[in-house]
Amino acid sequence: MKVKVIPVLEDNYMYLVIEEHTREALAVDVAVPKRLLEIVGREGVSLTTVLTTHHHWDHARGNAELARLLPGLEVLGADERICALTRRLVHGEELQFGAIHVRCLLTPGHTSGHMSYFLWEDKCPDPPAVFSGDALSVAGCGSRLESTAQLMYQSLVETLGTLPAETVSSPTLPHLRGLASHTTEGVLWARAHRGQPRVCAKSGALQRPREGQAVVGQEEG
CA torsion 166-168-169-170 (nearest 10°) is 180
Q: Is 136 in the site for other proteins (CB under 8 A)?
A: yes
Residue 90, φ and ψ in degrees, nearest 5: -120, 160
For residue 211, state whether it binds other proteins (rule: CB under 8 A). no
What's the min distance (Å) between Cβ of 22 and other proteins? 24
Taking CB under 8 A as the criterion, the residue among 2, 88, 103, 144 binding other proteins is 144
Q: Does 176 bind other proteins (CB under 8 A)?
A: yes
Q: Give the CA distances from residue 208 to residues 4, 39, 212, in Å, rounded to whole numbers and listed in that order.
A: 12, 20, 9
Shortest distance, position 149 Cβ to other proteins, whole Å: 4
Judged by beta carbon, residue 44 or residue 195, the one nearer other proteins is 195
Strand 2-8 to strand 94-97: parallel, antiparallel, or no bridges (unpaired)?
Answer: unpaired
Among 46, 68, 148, 212, binds other proteins (CB under 8 A): 148
Measured distance CA(157)–CA(174) in Å, rounded: 19
Q: Is 13 in the site for other proteins (CB under 8 A)?
A: yes
**Which residue in 42, 122, 182, 212 binds other proteins (CB under 8 A)?**
182
Residue 68 or 166 having the CB closest to other proteins: 166
Pairing type for strands 129-133 and 168-171 reads parallel
Sign of torsion over alpha carbons 141, 12, 9, 17: negative
CB 71 within 8 A of CB 56: no
180 in contact with other proteins (CB under 8 A): yes
Which segments of 29-167 are extended strands (E)? Answer: 46-51, 74-77, 87-88, 94-97, 100-106, 115-121, 129-133
Least CB distance from residue 73 to other proteins, whole Å?
25
| 9, 64, 70, 179: which one binds other proteins (CB under 8 A) | 179
Contact between 206 and other proteins per CB under 8 A: yes
Is residue 153 helix, strand or coil? helix
**Residue 217 touching other proteins (CB under 8 A):** no
Binding site for other proteins (CB under 8 A): 5, 7, 13, 127, 129-130, 136, 138-141, 143-144, 148-150, 152-153, 156-157, 160-161, 163-171, 174, 176-183, 185-187, 189-191, 194-195, 199-207, 221
